[in-house]
Structure 1
Amino acid sequence: MNLPIIQPYLFFNGRCEEAINFYQTALDAKVDMVMKFSDSPEPPPPGMIPEGWEDKVMHASFTFEGNIVMASDGCEAQGGYAGFSLSLSVASAEEAKRYFDALSEGGEVTMPLGETFWSPIFGMLKDKFGVAWMVGVHVEPPAGC
């Protein structure tokens, strides 16, 4: 692995297992590992996690087409996503539509799939967990750009 790398780490505020199952279906993601708070070799400090979260996900990772995404329920029962989107670039319009439709199930389309000046098909959505996605076909820039 060449360093440095940037990997998304998503916090699902108590819904991590549900999210992982969703991404397994929507993206054909493969789960690499899941560790619950109760599996930790050291207990969390008192008051660090909400009462009853022992069986929530402390750390997980899944892989989609060689991309690693890390996830957790986090340490609090609140949260949200703001100020970023995960950008999914694919090779064809058919792939873009398939992933867009799967990710938007139960979520909110913020920009329907359509042609743009930078991509033959591009759209934006928030999935049912509030994670923002931009889905489009990757186009190589012209030589010299």
Structure 2
Amino acid sequence: MSVTSVTHLNFRGDARAALEFYHSVFGGDLAVVSYGDAGDTRNPTESDQVMWGQVAADSGFRVMAYDVPSQLPWDRGVNSFFVSLRGGTTQEVAAYWEKLSVGATVVQPLEPARWAPLYGMLEDRYGVVWVLDVVSEYNG
């Protein structure tokens, strides 16, 4: 038996744009179901917002997202989570970094670290904090 963990991001009206952005970075398949698509008409002004969405790439990358309805509380919080993206090569990680960094705030530049050939952290234009590094054997 196996289990898969997928990061699920919660937004207030930005889920579709965020999913489209992640799709442009990682490729793969983009699936989006709006509240209107699902017949949820409690708030007609939110019918185009995302009830469920996912990017699933051939590389194994997966992310899910939705727009929290206005009748529910939502607070992005501060440092409530990071999305950790670990790649096998510096070229792979650097390519993702280049795309994710468009419109982002760099927290830690992508550069060699004591524990990894490359490590960096950024907050993307949707407020999601990404930690990127190259997988290496720990020799602490």
Normalising to structure 2: TM-score of the pair?
0.85
Q: Match for 1:129: what amino acid?
A: Y
Q: Secondary structure at the match of 1:114?
A: strand
State the alpha-carbon separation in 1 of the partners of residues 82 and 131 from structure 2. Answer: 7
Q: Match for 1:38: what amino acid?
A: G
State the alpha-carbon separation in 2 of the partners of residues 68 and 122 from structure 1. Answer: 20
Q: What residue in structure 2 maps to residue 63 of structure 1?
A: 56
> Is 1:121 equivalent to 2:118 in the alignment?
yes
Q: What residue in structure 1 maps to residue 2 of structure 2?
A: 2
Q: CA deviation at 1:78?
A: 5.5
Stretches of structure 1 that go unaligned for 5 or more consecutive residues are: none
Q: Secondary structure at the match of 1:98?
A: helix
Stretches of structure 2 that go unaligned for 5 or more consecutive residues are: none
State the alpha-carbon separation in 1 of the partners of residues 25 and 61 from structure 2. Answer: 15
Q: Match for 1:97: what amino acid?
A: A
4+ residue segments displaced more than 4 Å: none
Q: Match for 2:75: what amino acid?
A: G
Q: Secondary structure at the match of 1:120?
A: strand
The count of residues paired between Structure 1 and Structure 2 equals: 136
Q: What residue in structure 2 maps to residue 39 of structure 1?
A: 37
Q: What residue in structure 2 maps to residue 79 of structure 1?
A: 75
Structure that is richer in strand per residue: 2
Evaluate the alpha carbon distance shift between residue 78 and residue 54 of structure 1 in structure 2; reply closer, same or farther with a 3 A threshold.
Answer: same
2:103–2:124 CA contact under 8 A, matched in 1: yes
> Is 1:104 equivalent to 2:101 in the alignment?
yes
Determine what percentage of the aligned residue pairs are the same residue. 29
State the alpha-carbon separation in 2 of the partners of residues 27 and 137 from structure 1. Answer: 16
State the alpha-carbon separation in 2 of the partners of residues 59 and 8 from structure 1. Answer: 13
Q: CA deviation at 1:6?
A: 2.5
Q: Secondary structure at the match of 1:121?
A: strand
> Is 1:30 equivalent to 2:33 in the alignment?
no
State the alpha-carbon separation in 1 of the partners of residues 62 and 89 from structure 2. Answer: 22
2:8–2:64 CA contact under 8 A, matched in 1: yes
Q: CA deviation at 1:39?
A: 1.5
Q: Match for 2:11: what amino acid?
A: F
Spell out, residue by residue over 1:81-127, the C-alpha distance to the aligned partner (whole angstroms, 9 max, x if none): 53211111111111111111111111110000111111011100011
State the alpha-carbon separation in 1 of the partners of residues 92 and 66 from structure 2. Answer: 28
Evaluate the alpha carbon distance shift between residue 94 and residue 135 of structure 1 in structure 2; reply closer, same or farther with a 3 A threshold.
Answer: same
Evaluate the alpha carbon distance shift between residue 60 and residue 102 of structure 1 in structure 2; reply closer, same or farther with a 3 A threshold.
Answer: same
